[in-house]
């Protein structure tokens, strides 16, 4: 087994030969620019002036009182430009793409947040943009499809397989194989072949760095736990990374249990997945005994991915991070709870993290601190939550 | 016993002929048809046959083979059934049979068990398009132990990697004709003389060009650059159209390519 881009046994570069040179080119460019002062300064400026960083760390006083346990802080990635943490990664990757002289950007998207972020930054940087999106997801997230169109991106529906995120990734890989010279593939999570899991985590790790500094200023100490939702796992890796060395800080990922992990309708990769090799990486995947990748389900289009980033699989394997399975019902309850309690409508993805935190907070002491990474805002989910609750909304 | 792939290319070289490698997806539309198709292709002039193991997410495939995989998976075609089919085929044919499959299928089955079974049912080689040179250790030990040939791919983008990959490839070297995924193409514009130049000097295994070859004329042209050609999607298109009745039309197509190659 090669040692390239490994987290323990996880990771690697399992991709067709056709894209191997492009991956190596990306690796070389990333190695060159990641510590380049000019690149870092440009990215810092974009983070500050365009993405609205640092994002706030908000003390959720009402929620704290109501739950009666640990103090609750909410990291407001939902207040970033485009409404989610995705912009952090996209700004980093597309700045790199520009340095590499790439003119055409492709991306996959599930909920549409990464697609919107990519379309946005392509508009900003004057790059051609094509976003692959499962046709099932396009129906669930029509608002984001239109948003991407407004931003000048072409959204291409993918009908193959389950017509969701994994199929969009398959199609983006196929496009990349065909257009390798001109095209930069902007992967939206800490997944795929090396260097993506490392690079995307590096572009997201500012979340955890900010949490640490902000909490130190407010409370003079580290949190007892950091909680984040996990699909591929980029907002969680971003929030966790700076705390990995602080062994006393519990790292909790919340994955989608859909209709329950005792049903076939879930996306709980850590709880129910097995070691496999797919989408360029060795990691945990939901699959059958012959290695066919499962159809997965979650109310959240951003979490219904049958795998997990290799660094999460590693953190799980060494016991450094724990992963809770959160059902649709728990997530919707948390969605409504945070809306009513704090006046913050979370993305349904992020509501999984809220639900996981709500499980543990009441059991904790009042002098303990939990930080919830609120990865995105929930405007996009209002229709699907209404549908879940059986409320008919007149969209006209 | 000598590996059938090696023996096949040696015999072809002695006769001054080019290899015709053909592909079908196992279980499309069903395994009984696949079994008959393999026999028919050998009878019609194929030298080697690749059997595609259907995978849920075949990222290196174009629409044709993606759809074939879906058809095969609809009735749950699996690797054990494919091993059984090859075992039956071995009663009637002694020509080289290869599996083309994705790395997760091998890994999940158990790499050691997989290669042991290949040896048992006499599968002569495997092609794993999503296992590049860098990840060769995933199978190398087991492939070498069992004598099953591990065939690597070279793409138009490989350039300075060509030599390194060719040194690793056993049986033959699979030259990907153009950028992109599998599927027929009206035109193939890669400069093969340039791409394959690094292999002019030295003792490498034979090379065959595949991806996008749709007729005898193209096959002849592609084979002129190397030791043979590989035809997949063009055959799977016929299977898609005729289903269980595809034996005869596939046979006729393979014959036509054979004639063009030998002309």
Set of chain A residues whose Cβ sits within 8 Å of the Cβ of B107: 275-277, 282, 291
Q: Which of A21-30, B92-101, B183-192, B205-214 bottoms out in mean pLDDT, i.e. has the lowest?
A: B183-192
- Segment B159-174 shows an average pLDDT of 96
From A177, A280, A291, residue closest to B179, measured CB to CB: A177
Set of chain B residues whose Cβ sits within 8 Å of the Cβ of A293: 56-57, 104
Residues A154 and A230 in one domain: no
Residues A223 and A302 in one domain: yes
Write down which residue in A200, A221, A256 finishes a domain. A200
CB-based contact, A234 to chain B, within 8 Å = no
Inside any domain, residue B163: no
Set of chain B residues whose Cβ sits within 8 Å of the Cβ of A15: 130, 132
**pLDDT category of residue A131 using cuts at 50, 70 and 90:** very high
Inside any domain, residue A154: yes
pLDDT, residue A357, reads 98
User: Min CA distance, B123 vs chain A (Å)?
Assistant: 18
pLDDT, residue A1, reads 53
Inside any domain, residue B187: no
Is the Cβ pair A1, B135 closer than 8 Å?
Answer: yes
From B58, B153, B159, residue closest to A21, measured CB to CB: B159
Inside any domain, residue B61: yes
- Segment A330-356 shows an average pLDDT of 98
Residue of A nearest to B55 (CA): A292
- Segment B211-217 shows an average pLDDT of 94
Q: Which of A129-138, A156-165, A167-176 bottoms out in mean pLDDT, i.e. has the lowest?
A: A156-165
Residues A290 and A306 in one domain: yes
Residues A129 and A233 in one domain: no
What CATH number has the domain bearing residue B110? 3.20.20.70
Q: Is the pLDDT of residue A396 over 70?
A: no
Residues A286 and A340 in one domain: yes
Residues of B with CB under 8 A from a CB of A: 55-60, 62, 66, 70, 73, 78-79, 102-105, 107-109, 129-135, 137-138, 152-159, 161, 165, 176, 179-181
Residue A334 and residue A224 in contact, taking contact as beta carbons nearer than 8 Å:
no
Inside any domain, residue A393: no
Inside any domain, residue B214: no
Inside any domain, residue B160: no
Inside any domain, residue B109: yes
Inside any domain, residue A396: no
- Segment A112-136 shows an average pLDDT of 96
User: Min CA distance, B48 vs chain A (Å)?
Assistant: 22
The number of distinct structural domains making up chain A is 2
pLDDT, residue A2, reads 60
Is the Cβ pair A16, B60 closer than 8 Å?
Answer: yes
Is the Cβ pair B180, A289 closer than 8 Å?
Answer: no
Inside any domain, residue A319: yes
Inside any domain, residue A108: yes
**pLDDT category of residue B1 using cuts at 50, 70 and 90:** confident
pLDDT, residue A140, reads 78
Inside any domain, residue A394: no
Is the Cβ pair B57, A2 closer than 8 Å?
Answer: no
- Segment A259-286 shows an average pLDDT of 97
- Closest residue by Cα to residue B130 from A110, A13, A231, A74: A13
Is the Cβ pair A20, B73 closer than 8 Å?
Answer: no
Write down which residue in A155, A183, A200 finishes a domain. A200
Q: Is the pLDDT of residue A395 over 70?
A: no
Q: Is the pLDDT of residue B146 over 80?
A: yes
Inside any domain, residue B168: no
The boundaries of the domain holding residue B52 are 4-150+228-258
Set of chain A residues whose Cβ sits within 8 Å of the Cβ of B66: 160
Residues A291 and A376 in one domain: yes
Q: Is the pLDDT of residue B171 over 90?
A: yes
The boundaries of the domain holding residue A294 are 54-83+205-388
Inside any domain, residue B254: yes
Residues A298 and A164 in one domain: no
Q: Is the pLDDT of residue A257 over 90?
A: yes
Residues A265 and A168 in one domain: no
pTM of the full predicted structure? 0.96
- Segment A252-257 shows an average pLDDT of 98
- The residues in A 176-205 lying below 8 A from B, measured between CB atoms, are 177-180
Inside any domain, residue A369: yes
What CATH number has the domain bearing residue A190? 3.40.50.1100
Give A60-102 pLDDT, tens digit per residue.
Answer: 999 999 999 999 999 999 999 999 999 999 999 999 999 999 9
Residues A65 and A136 in one domain: no
CB-based contact, A3 to chain B, within 8 Å = no
Residues A108 and A73 in one domain: no
The number of distinct structural domains making up chain B is 1
Among B79, B103, B104, pick the best mutation site for testing chain A contact (most A Cβ within 10 A): B104
Is the Cβ pair A290, B79 closer than 8 Å?
Answer: yes
Set of chain A residues whose Cβ sits within 8 Å of the Cβ of B176: 17-18
Q: Is the pLDDT of residue B228 over 90?
A: yes
CB-based contact, A20 to chain B, within 8 Å = yes
Catalytic residues of A: 86, 108, 375
Give B37-79 pLDDT, tens digit per residue.
Answer: 999 999 999 999 999 999 999 999 999 999 999 999 999 999 9
Residues A328 and A215 in one domain: yes
Write down which residue in A200, A216, A247 finishes a domain. A200
Set of chain A residues whose Cβ sits within 8 Å of the Cβ of B73: 292
Set of chain A residues whose Cβ sits within 8 Å of the Cβ of B164: none
Residues A359 and A248 in one domain: yes
**pLDDT category of residue B187 using cuts at 50, 70 and 90:** confident
């Amino acid at each position: 087994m090669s040692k390239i881009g490994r987290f323990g046994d996880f990771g690697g570069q399992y991709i067709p030969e056709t894209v191997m040179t492009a991956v190596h080119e990306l690796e070389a460019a990333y190695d060159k620019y990641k510590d380049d002062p000019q690149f870092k300064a440009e990215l810092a400026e974009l983070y500050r002036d365009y993405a609205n960083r640092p994002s706030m760390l908000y003390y959720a006083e009402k929620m704290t009182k109501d739950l009666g346990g640990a103090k609750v802080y909410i990291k407001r990635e939902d207040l970033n430009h485009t409404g989610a943490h995705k912009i952090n990664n996209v700004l980093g990757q597309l700045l790199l793409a520009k340095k590499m002289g790439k003119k055409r950007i492709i991306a996959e998207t599930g909920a549409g947040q990464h697609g919107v972020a990519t379309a946005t930054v392509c508009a900003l940087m004057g790059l051609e943009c094509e976003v692959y999106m499962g046709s099932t997801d396009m129906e669930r997230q029509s608002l984001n499809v239109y948003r991407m169109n407004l931003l000048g991106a072409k959204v291409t529906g993918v009908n193959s397989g389950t017509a969701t995120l994994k199929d969009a990734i398959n199609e983006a890989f196929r496009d990349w194989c065909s257009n390798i010279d001109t095209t930069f593939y902007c992967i939206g999570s800490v997944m795929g072949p090396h260097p993506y899991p490392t690079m995307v985590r590096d572009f997201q790790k500012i979340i955890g760095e900010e949490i640490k500094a902000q909490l130190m200023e407010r409370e003079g100490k580290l949190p007892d736990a950091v909680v984040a939702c996990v699909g591929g796992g980029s907002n969680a890796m971003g929030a966790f990374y700076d705390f990995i060395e602080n062994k006393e800080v519990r790292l909790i990922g919340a994955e989608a249990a859909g209709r329950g992990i005792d049903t076939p309708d879930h996306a709980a990769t850590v709880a129910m997945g097995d070691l496999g090799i797919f989408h360029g990486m060795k990691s945990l995947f939901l699959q059958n005994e012959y290695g066919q990748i499962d159809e997965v389900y979650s109310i959240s289009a951003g979490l219904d991915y049958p795998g997990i980033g290799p660094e999460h699989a590693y953190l799980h394997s060494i016991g450094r991070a724990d992963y809770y399975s959160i059902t649709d019902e728990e997530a919707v309850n948390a969605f409504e709870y945070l809306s009513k309690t704090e006046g913050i409508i979370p993305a349904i993805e992020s509501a999984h993290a809220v639900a996981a935190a709500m499980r543990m907070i009441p059991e904790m002491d009042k002098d303990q601190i939990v930080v919830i990474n609120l990865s995105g805002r929930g405007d996009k989910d209002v229709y699907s939550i209404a549908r879940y609750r059986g409320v008919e909304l007149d969209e006209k | 016993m000598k590996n059938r792939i090696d023996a096949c290319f040696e015999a072809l070289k002695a006769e001054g002929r080019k290899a015709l490698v053909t592909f079908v997806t196992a279980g499309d539309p069903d395994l009984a048809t696949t079994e008959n198709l393999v026999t028919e292709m050998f009878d019609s002039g194929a030298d080697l046959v690749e059997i595609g193991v259907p995978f849920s997410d075949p990222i290196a495939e174009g629409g044709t083979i993606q759809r074939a995989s879906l058809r095969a998976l609809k009735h749950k075609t699996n690797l054990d059934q494919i091993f059984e089919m090859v075992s039956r085929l071995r009663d009637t044919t002694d020509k080289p049979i290869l599996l083309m499959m994705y790395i997760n299928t091998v890994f999940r089955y158990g790499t050691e068990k997989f290669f042991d079974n290949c040896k048992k049912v006499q599968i002569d080689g495997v092609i794993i398009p999503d296992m590049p040179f860098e990840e060769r250790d995933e199978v190398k030990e087991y492939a070498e132990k069992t004598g099953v040939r591990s065939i690597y791919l070279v793409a138009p983008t490989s350039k300075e990697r060509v030599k390194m990959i060719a040194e690793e490839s056993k049986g033959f070297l699979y030259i990907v004709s153009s950028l992109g995924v599998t599927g027929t193409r009206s035109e193939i514009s890669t400069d093969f003389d340039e791409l394959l130049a690094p292999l002019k000097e030295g003792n490498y295994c034979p090379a065959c060009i595949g991806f996008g070859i749709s007729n005898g004329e193209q096959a002849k042209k592609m084979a002129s650059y190397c030791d043979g050609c590989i035809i997949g999607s063009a055959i799977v298109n016929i299977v898609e159209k005729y289903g269980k009745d595809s034996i005869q039309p596939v046979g006729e197509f393979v014959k036509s390519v054979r004639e063009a190659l030998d002309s």
